[in-house]
Amino acid sequence: MSECAAVAAAAVEAASKPPVLKSLPEVRVVTLRAVIPDYRAQRTLWDQVLAFTRSQGLAIAGPCLTIYYDQGYKEKDVDAEVCLPIAKDAKVTEDAGSTSSITVRVLPAVPRAASAVHLGSYDALNPAYLKLYEWISKEHLQPNAPVREVYLRMDIEDTSEGSFVTEIQQPVA
């Protein structure tokens, strides 16, 4: 079984299961945070971050993710930070981000996060979020940091986004 097929099979299984608690490791990332018109508009942020990493000769060291700083869903003016993982020892020139809002930082480890996996289009993420937050409430947990969407599998050839795998991670206390 290929790695992609294994990821897809694991995602289908995980998407059918209830959320789980897990710890999240620290990760060094190239980031760009902005208030964007809507969730789909983060594409422009990704284009900038990808151009930056290419100009620096940086390799992607894990699945990319977005951190959403707003409480709950918003139709517009979404406060989002796109994050592209890079190696802990990756060299970035000091003045690389001086002319833009792109930064290199370490996302701290999270001791406890509620996690749910979604298989399918980003436009259909809402039920996965509802399932996750219902579970958090049932378990008497409280969100204590911004939510993350981790993009475990994306295929630009899949215009339906049916094969996409997204993990929603909500840090909790």
Mean pLDDT of all residues in the chain?
Answer: 89
Q: Provide the sign of the torsion angle of the four alpha carbons 131, 41, 112, 5, taken in this order.
A: positive
Final residue belonging to a domain, choices 93, 108, 123: 108
Same domain, 120 and 152: yes
Residue 160 exposed, middle or buried by CB count within 10 Å (0-12, 13-18, 19+):
exposed
* pLDDT for res 8: 58
Same domain, 61 and 100: yes
Higher pLDDT among residues 4 and 89, named by residue: 89
pLDDT category at 72 given cuts 50, 70, 90 is confident
State how many domains the chain has.
2
Higher pLDDT among residues 117 and 156, named by residue: 117
Q: Look at residue 43 and give its three-state secondary structure.
A: helix
Q: Which pTM value belongs to this model?
A: 0.89
Higher pLDDT among residues 112 and 7, named by residue: 112
CATH no. for residue 52?
3.30.70
Same domain, 157 and 126: yes
Same domain, 20 and 30: no
% of the chain with per-residue pLDDT over 70: 85
Q: Where do we find the tokens 């620096």?
A: 56
The answer to whether residue 132 scores a pLDDT higher than 60 is: yes
Q: Which domain holds residue 39?
A: 26-108
In tens, the pLDDT along 37-68 reads 999 899 999 999 999 999 999 999 999 999 99
Same domain, 59 and 83: yes
Same domain, 104 and 147: no
Strand ranges across the sheet with 110-119: 20-24, 110-119, 165-171, 147-153, 65-68, 78-85, 27-36, 103-107
